């Protein structure tokens, strides 16, 4: 059997389960997950190598319609760039939800001339599964999908069928990455994403999208990893919310992050966490670039 290789994009509106699916494929955390939308900001590159097959997953940020801040524009730009270089697109939707966002994504996919697999996620939460076949029939008329696969990324239902569809549509070619590669991102990025995830899951609906995490220093020894990290937000009032009463919120965020990091690195972690206010950073392209979010393509 010859080697196979391909770039596969996970596309869809925010919060349809793209990061959960990516993590399920790898059976470990590659991208952060949250019930809140807008949590994926970067082109998280997951590299799955199994025997002679290598799949490079691009977990694109969800498409942001109606948002005018520079951060949202950057996230849309990342999503568009990912489409251009992929061999196959997995278009995820949340059960039977098909709204303006899905129509806009489908419109852009039609212009790409790339094979698209429609992935109907969260089927474990369907109250009436008998409607699934009728929905698939209706949705098939919108576009000539390569395949339509219902799954539950969270419960790992039907993932083998989805993987089979992917493998059957990869081109023959050499692998581009070492076999033991999982992601192109550094430990610093991974650590910052874990901290950001824990903050997002503990804060209100609006505030999480005004924060970023910067790793300022790491001291690493055989038995202990000491991490110095700052949560960046836009104002003193937001800083107060993240700190919480007598520091209770930042302590909870730090404790949750530390426990997960200890599990990931198999050693004790000393996490030193604080908050900095950086006015209007999500709407300043120079500040976005400083934080690694304003990449020019």
Q: Which pair of tokens denotes residue 250?
A: 């930042």
Q: Which pair of tokens denotes residue 189?
A: 């990025």
What are the angstrom distances between the C-alpha of 13 and each of 57, 85, 261? 17, 19, 29
> Residue ranges for the binding site?
12-19, 59-63, 121-124
Q: How far apart are CA 263 and CA 261, in angstroms?
A: 5
pLDDT over threshold 90, residue 204: no
CB distance 39 to 32 below 8 Å: yes
Q: How far apart are CA 232 and CA 270, in angstroms?
A: 20
Rounded mean pLDDT, 210-217: 85
Residue 79 burial (CB count, 10 A): 22
User: What is residue 172's three-state secondary structure?
Assistant: strand
CB distance 195 to 187 below 8 Å: no
- 12-16, 26-30, 63-67, 277-281: range with lowest mean pLDDT: 63-67
Please give the domain boundaries of the chain with CATH numbers for all domains: 4-172 (3.40.50.300), 187-290 (3.30.300.20)
pLDDT over threshold 70, residue 4: yes
Q: What is the Cα Rg of the chain in Å?
A: 20
CB distance 281 to 288 below 8 Å: yes
**Residue at token pair 């995820």:** 92
What predicted TM-score, i.e. pTM, was given to this entire model?
0.65
The mean predicted confidence, pLDDT, of the chain is: 81
Q: How far apart are CA 180 and CA 263, in angstroms?
A: 20
Rounded mean pLDDT, 172-200: 80
> Residue ranges for the binding site for GTP?
12-19, 59-63, 121-124
Packing angle of the helix pair 18-26, 159-168 (nearest 10 deg): 80
Confidence of residue 281 (pLDDT cuts 50, 70, 90): low
> In this predicted structure, what is the pLDDT of residue 274?
93
> In this predicted structure, what is the pLDDT of residue 275?
93
Rounded mean pLDDT, 227-248: 90
> In this predicted structure, what is the pLDDT of residue 235?
83
């Amino acid at each position: 059997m010859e080697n196979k290789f391909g770039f596969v994009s996970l596309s869809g509106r925010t919060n349809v389960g793209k990061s959960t699916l990516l993590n399920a494929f790898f059976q470990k955390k590659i991208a952060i997950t949250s019930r809140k939308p807008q949590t994926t900001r970067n082109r998280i590159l997951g590299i799955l190598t199994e025997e002679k097959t290598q799949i490079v997953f691009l977990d694109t940020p969800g498409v942001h319609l109606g948002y005018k801040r520079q951060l949202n524009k950057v996230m849309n730009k990342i999503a568009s760039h990912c489409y251009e270089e992929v061999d196959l697109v997995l278009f995820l939707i949340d059960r039977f939800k098909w709204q303006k966002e899905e129509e806009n994504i489908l419109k852009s996919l039609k212009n790409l001339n790339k094979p698209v697999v429609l992935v109907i996620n969260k089927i474990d939460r369907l109250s009436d599964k008998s409607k699934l076949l009728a929905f698939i029939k209706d949705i098939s008329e919108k576009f000539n999908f390569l395949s339509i696969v219902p799954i539950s990324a969270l419960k790992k239902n039907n993932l083998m069928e989805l993987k089979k569809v992917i493998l059957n549509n990869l081109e023959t070619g050499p692998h581009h990455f070492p076999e033991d590669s999982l992601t192109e991102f550094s430990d610093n990025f991974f650590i910052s994403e874990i901290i950001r995830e824990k903050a997002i899951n503990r804060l209100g609906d609006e505030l999480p999208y005004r924060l970023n995490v910067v790793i300022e220093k790491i001291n690493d020894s055989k038995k202990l990893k000491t991490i110095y990290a700052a949560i960046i937000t836009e104002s003193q009032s937001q800083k107060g919310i993240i700190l919480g009463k007598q520091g209770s919120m930042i302590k909870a965020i730090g404790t949750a992050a530390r426990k997960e990091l200890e599990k990931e690195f198999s050693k004790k972690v000393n996490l030193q966490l604080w908050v900095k206010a950086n006015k209007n950073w999500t709407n300043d392209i120079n500040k976005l670039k400083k934080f690694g979010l304003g990449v020019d393509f």
